[in-house]
Amino acid sequence: MRSIANVADYRVAARRRLPRFLFDYIDGGALTERTLAANAAELQAIGFRQRVMSGVGAVDLSTAVLGESLALPVILAPIGLGGLTARRGEVQAARAARTAGVPFTLSTVALCSVEEVAREGGTAPWFQLYVTRDRGFMRAMLARAQAAGCRTLVFTVDMSLPGIRYRDRRSGLSGGTRLRRALRLRAQALRRPRWACDVGLLGRPLVLGNLAELLGRGAGVENFWGWMADNFDPTVTWRDLDEVRAHWSGTLIIKGVLEPEDARAAVAAGAQGVVVSNHGGRQLDGADAAITALPAIVEAMGDRAAVLMDGGIRSGADVVRALALGARAVLIGRPWVWALGACGQRGVTHLLDLLAQEMRLTMALTGVASVDGINRSLLSGRR
C-alpha cells in the first residue's frame, strides 16, 4: 500500500485487480454518466477560506448521527455486489468500519447475508432495503435484519426501475441470456487469476446471501439484473412506507432524495433521516449533483430530520465541504469498494485513515477544531 496516496490510487489499483464486469459495475453510471461526473466535479469546485493564526491544534472528528456516536462523520454506503471485490468482502469492510468507529451499511443485494456480516463483522450493520413487488420478501428481510441486531434501516427509494448502464451491457453483466452472461463473466474472471483464486474459488459461495432462498439453489451473480428487473416496483408511493414502519422498530432513513418536497414527504411518512443522493449517478442521468441539491433540503428539514449526503466524496476535504453545506455526515460508496478490491480489509482501514487525515488538515487550515464548528463560513464566496 506504499504506492496508495489517495482515493484515485485505490481506483487504479482496483481496476488492475478486478474482472472487467465487476470494476465497470462499481465504477460506472447511467447513460452518458453526466451526473456521475457532476457529483465529484461540483464538490471539488467549492472553495475554502484559508484562515491563519487561528490557534487550532488538536482536531476532533467525532460526531453523533441519530443517537449513534461516530469517530468521524463518514458511513460506508450500501453497494450491491460489493462483497465480490474481495473474499467475503462485506465482512472485511464491516470489520474495517468497526475498527474505525463508523457504521457499515449492508445492501439487500450483497454477497454476504445480513446474518453473516453481523456474526463475522463484529457488530450489526445498518441495513439497506429496496422497494420490491414482493412485499412478503420485504417483511421477511426486515425481520431478518432486526433478528441479526440491525437498528438502522436505510430505505432506498430512487430505484423503482433499474437505470440504464451501458458499461454493464458491454461487459455482459446485464442483457442477453443467462447462459451468455454466465459465460462472459467467467471468461473475464479468468483474465484476473489472482481474483479468480482468492474470490472466485476460495470466497465461495458466490451467491447473493440475502436472496439465496428466494432465487433458489445455484443462483449466482448472473441472476442479479434479472431479479432486479422483475422485482423492483415502479408503482410505489409514500403510502407504502406505512408497511415498512409497521414492521420496523428502529431508525428509518430514506435514501435517494433530491427535492425538498420529497424530503418533507419522507419525514411525514415517519423517517428520522434522509440521504441526499442520486444513487451515485447510476439512475437518472442529468439529475442534480448531490451537493447541489443538499442546501435546499437542509433548509427544508431544519431540526426535523438528520440530513446525510451521498455522491462524489473523494477526499476528506469533500467531507468538510458537505458538512459546511449542512450534512450531518456523508456516505461513501465507490471509494471503500475500490479500497476493498485493491487491498482487502487493510485497504478500507487505510482509506478511512486517509479521509480522517485529510479532514484534520482541512479543518485546521480553515480554523475549525471540531465537527460542530463546520459551517458555511469555511467556504469561499462562490457559494
Residues belonging to the active site: 279
DSSP 308: E
Whose cell is 453545506? That residue is 325
**178 contacts: CB under 8 Å, gap ≥ 6:** 222, 223, 226
Whose cell is 447475508? That residue is 113
**94 contacts: CB under 8 Å, gap ≥ 6:** 104, 106, 117, 120, 121, 122, 123, 125
**97 contacts: CB under 8 Å, gap ≥ 6:** 76, 103, 104, 348, 352
Region of 254 on the Ramachandran plot (φ > 0 left; ψ -120 to 50 alpha; else beta): beta
* Length of the chain counted residue by residue: 383
C-alpha cell at position 248: 420496523
DSSP 289: P
C-alpha cell at position 242: 406505512
Q: Compute the distance between CA of residue 36 and CA of residue 29 in angstroms, rounded to an integer.
A: 6
Coil, strand, or helix at residue 130?
Answer: strand
Give alpha helix (H) positions in the chain.
7-17, 20-27, 34-44, 89-100, 114-120, 135-147, 166-171, 178-190, 193-195, 212-215, 224-231, 241-247, 260-268, 290-301, 316-324, 334-365
For the chain, helix (H) and strand (E) counts, in that order, are 16, 10
